[in-house]
Amino acid sequence: MRILIFGKNGQLGSKFTEYLEKNNINFLSISRNECNITDFSKVRNVVKDFNPDIVINCTAYNLVDKAEEDYLQAFDVNTFAVKNLAFVCNEFNKFLIHYSTDYVFDGTKQHFYTEDDLPNPLNIYAKSKLSGEILIKEILKNYLIFRVSWVYGKGKQNFLYKLQQWASANDTLKIAVDEFSVPTSTRTIVDMTMKAIKQGLTGLYHLTNSGYASRYEWAKEYFKIKGIKKLIYPAYQSDFNLPAKRPKWSVMSNEKISKDLGVDIPLWYEELKDLQP
């Protein structure tokens, strides 16, 4: 099995690199500087030259608020570049794995979101990610799309890193108590992705740790684990007046993938305790 990864330097791409090296799997990991996936000819050449069995796209434009103004870049990376990957994978008969987001939902459902629920994105970032999903489904017959949520791992691209930065500069932190989703580790995403590959899964899946939490609960649990003694004040999402509108409830069910893989995915707080970045 040969695996090609786009997005080498991101928190998810680096976790894949770590896993594949440890398990002696033949792979090539490409950074944005080495190949910008918005360049169709470069993507095509990389796939043609390495000739992988599987292409994993770990690249994304995920600056949610900035995307409201920088919408061309958001769609360039999250939609049109994904279209490039899908076309190339279709041409060379490669299996594409792509990651989307819980933000494709509007937060109005009063239960766990499943793969059968209709998306209704509230912001530009989410719209660009959903458009990428749609293009993959239109172009390819065999693929895996994983919607993930509140991803964290090693690196500076996640909420927990920002939380530590805020804590180092402030005695009191205001964290939203009315925004809910599922904190999900890069380790869980990589482990479940590799299991899905081995078992031949295809289609759309929600891939998260189990349970759910508010950002406030997540922050408190993380500080408890790390021994950080700072006051976390429960605030409301509306208090922050952010440019991009976010769903207050984007909790996804991982029941489908758990059942199809025959596994019990760890609860978010158990995974956090075992794997704090």
Computed over its alpha carbons, how large is the radius of gyration of the chain? Answer: 18
Contact yes or no for 57/30 (Cβ under 8 A): no
Q: How confident is the model at residue 80 (pLDDT cuts 50, 70, 90)?
A: very high
With CA atoms as reference, report the closest residue to 7 among 91, 66, 82: 82
Residue 36 lies in a domain: yes
Contact yes or no for 129/101 (Cβ under 8 A): yes
Is residue 170 predicted with pLDDT exceeding 90?
no
Contact yes or no for 210/266 (Cβ under 8 A): yes
- Matching residue, tokens 């996804």: 252
- CA–CA distance, 195 with 266 (Å, rounded to integer): 15
As to burial, measured by CB atoms within 10 angstroms (0-12 exposed, 13-18 middle, 19+ buried), residue 43 is buried
- CA–CA distance, 71 with 85 (Å, rounded to integer): 20
With CA atoms as reference, report the closest residue to 209 among 180, 187, 226: 187
Condensed to tens digits (0 to 9), the pLDDT of residues 87-125 reads 999 999 999 999 999 999 999 998 999 999 999 999 999
Residue 51 structure tokens:
């000739």
With CA atoms as reference, report the closest residue to 78 among 132, 122, 33: 132
Residue 240 lies in a domain: no
Which CATH number do you get for residue 142?
3.40.50.720
Contact yes or no for 261/195 (Cβ under 8 A): yes
Residue 29 structure tokens:
């990991």
Residue 11: give the domain boundaries.
2-158+183-212+250-268
* pLDDT greater at residue 158 or residue 136: 136
* Number of Cβ atoms within 10 Å of the Cβ of 172: 10
Residue 145 lies in a domain: yes
Instruction: Reduce the DSSP state of residue 88 to 3 states and report it.
Output: helix
Is residue 277 predicted with pLDDT exceeding 80?
no
Q: What angle separates helix 186-199 from helix 11-22, to the nearest 10 degrees?
A: 60
Residue 75 lies in a domain: yes
Residue 207 lies in a domain: yes
* Number of structural domains in the chain: 1
Is residue 139 predicted with pLDDT exceeding 70?
yes
Is residue 275 predicted with pLDDT exceeding 80?
no
Residue 119 lies in a domain: yes
Residue 57 lies in a domain: yes
Condensed to tens digits (0 to 9), the pLDDT of residues 226-263 reads 888 888 989 998 888 899 999 999 999 999 999 999 99
Residue 252 structure tokens:
């996804």
Q: What distance lies between CA 193 and its chain's CA centroid?
A: 12
Residue 135 lies in a domain: yes
* Number of Cβ atoms within 10 Å of the Cβ of 162: 11
